[in-house]
Amino acid sequence: MTTPLRDVAESGIDVDAAAAAVTDLMRALGMDPTDPSLNRTPTRVARAYAELLSPREFGLTTFPNDEGYDELVVARDIPFTSLCEHHLLPFVGTASVGYLPGVRILGLSKLARVVELFARRPQVQERMTKQVGTWLDQHLRPRGVGVVIRAEHTCMTLRGVHAHGATTVTSALLGTLRDDLRSRAEFLSLAT
């Protein structure tokens, strides 16, 4: 079964207006946007943000669990980039996403697509972690879902406290992976 999903951000992005705003920002920061080395920067910045804020369309492909597979399925080290909603600076990391199948199993690439779906918007890591887990729980109806996200936030490493190399780890566990201590421990050992 395939359920198509749409790009949620792309339709609302006005690259020309964003480029004009970047031009104003550059001037306010004392830069000359007419300088030959900077004159295309506003458009480049606007396009970069448009890309960072536009998840790719995908279909949620699931298959009947005809074999009755009842062990964990975990995709580890799924790379992502998101934007801190407080500073619009990137945070970059990896997600480990797993589930205990119910009557359907998921096309494995879709675990990475769901991470991208929620990463490609202004975000906080805690919310993103919960969104990925909740979305999979609602759309797949597995017996359990687990998400662990590890990321470096440039709003913390490039400015402010300058905590270079610091990472933040968040988790969301639903169903059996939250309620059953052995299943929880198994997922966390596989996910990290």
List, as one string, the DSSP characters of 105-160.
EE-THHHHHHHHHHHSSEE-HHHHHHHHHHHHHHHH--SEEEEEEEEEEHHHHTST
User: What integer best gives the mean pLDDT of the chain?
Assistant: 93
State the span(s) of the chain assigned CATH 1.10.286.10. 10-52
Torsion, Cα 109 110 115 120, to 10 degrees, reads 100
Q: Helix or strand or coil: residue 181?
A: helix
Q: Which active-site residues does the annotation give?
A: 84-87, 125, 153, 155
Whether the Cβ atoms of residue 149 and residue 125 lie closer than 8 Å to each other: yes
pLDDT at 59: 87
How is residue 35 annotated by DSSP? S
Coil, strand or helix: which one is 168? strand
Residue 162's SS3 state is: coil
Fold of domain 10-52: GTP Cyclohydrolase I; Chain A, domain 1 (1.10.286)
From the CB of residue 133, how many other CB atoms can be counted at a distance below 10 Å?
26
| CATH code of domain 60-191 | 3.30.1130.10
Tokens describing residue 39: 């004159």
User: Strand pairing partners for 106?
Assistant: 62
Integer Cα distance of 190 and 192 in angstroms: 6
- Residue 132 CA to residue 122 CA, distance in Å, equals 15
- Range(s) within the chain of domains with CATH label 3.30.1130.10: 60-191
How far, in Å, CA of 43 to CA of 22, rounded?
A: 8
Paired tokens of 104: 């359907």
pLDDT at 11 (0 to 100):
53
Q: What is the pLDDT of residue 188?
A: 97
Q: Across the 192 residues of the chain, what is the mean pLDDT of every consecutive 10-residue run?
A: 42 90 97 96 96 89 95 97 96 98 94 96 97 96 98 94 94 98 97 92
- The pLDDT value given to residue 56: 86
